[in-house]
Amino acid sequence: MHPHGHPAGDDPPAHGSIRLIEDKCTSCMICVRECPTWCIHIESHSEELPPTAPGHPSRGRERRHNVLDSFDIDWSLCMYCGICIEECPFDALEWAGPHVPGVDSRQALVHDRSILTSTHQLHTQPQPDPAPGQQP
Ligand code: SF4
Ligand code: SF4
């Protein structure tokens, strides 16, 4: 059963899990700000690009760009509203496959960038063992 009560396999395919298309993401943070449940967490840093000008590689202004360090979605908070997908100005998020299946621990519902970029991994992520003496 999905954490929000959707039976597995009973969900409309159009609003399943979300895939991150990493090459398109600029770490602009718009999805983080627009998500109504604050379930997206991104970390990034800025890097300087060498100055380039046509025909003069050593001239021109230096440019900076964001480099994505981490991108997590906490599926225990996500309500599948699609606002992040709609608001991303770079089409870096898209619906992909069925809802994330229910798991035994909250921690397993936080999917990182390696999982979010692969729908195959998204639905086959191994669940971590609960700590000794801890309820899952
Ligand atoms: S679908 Fe909605 S709740 Fe889920 S991550 Fe996107 S904006 Fe947040
Ligand atoms: S809105 Fe799109 S480009 Fe911006 S951080 Fe989110 S996924 Fe990346």
Q: Is residue 8 part of a domain?
A: no
Q: Is residue 33 part of a domain?
A: yes
pTM of the predicted protein model: 0.74
Atom of ligand 2 nearest to the CA of 20: 7
Condensed to tens digits (0 to 9), the pLDDT of residues 92-117 reads 999 987 788 888 888 999 999 999 99
CATH code for position 91: 3.30.70.3270
Q: Is residue 93 part of a domain?
A: yes
Model pLDDT, residue 49? 83
Model pLDDT, residue 11? 46
Model pLDDT, residue 14? 56
Q: Is residue 101 part of a domain?
A: yes
Cβ(117) to ligand 2 under 6 A? no
Q: Give the Å distance between the CA of 104 and the centre of ligand 2.
A: 29
Q: Is residue 131 part of a domain?
A: no
Listed residue (107, 120, 97, 127) closest to 14, CA to CA: 97
Model pLDDT, residue 6? 42
**Domain hosting residue 88, numbered range:** 13-49+58-122
Please identify every stretch of the chain with a pLDDT value under 70, giving residue numbers as ranges: 1-14, 53-59, 119-136
Q: Is residue 135 part of a domain?
A: no
Please give the Cα distance from 115 to 78 (Å, whole number).
Answer: 16
Q: Is residue 108 part of a domain?
A: yes
Please give the Cα distance from 9 to 2 (Å, whole number).
Answer: 10
Q: Give the Å distance between the CA of 56 and the centre of ligand 1.
A: 45
Q: Is residue 136 part of a domain?
A: no
Please give the Cα distance from 62 to 59 (Å, whole number).
Answer: 9
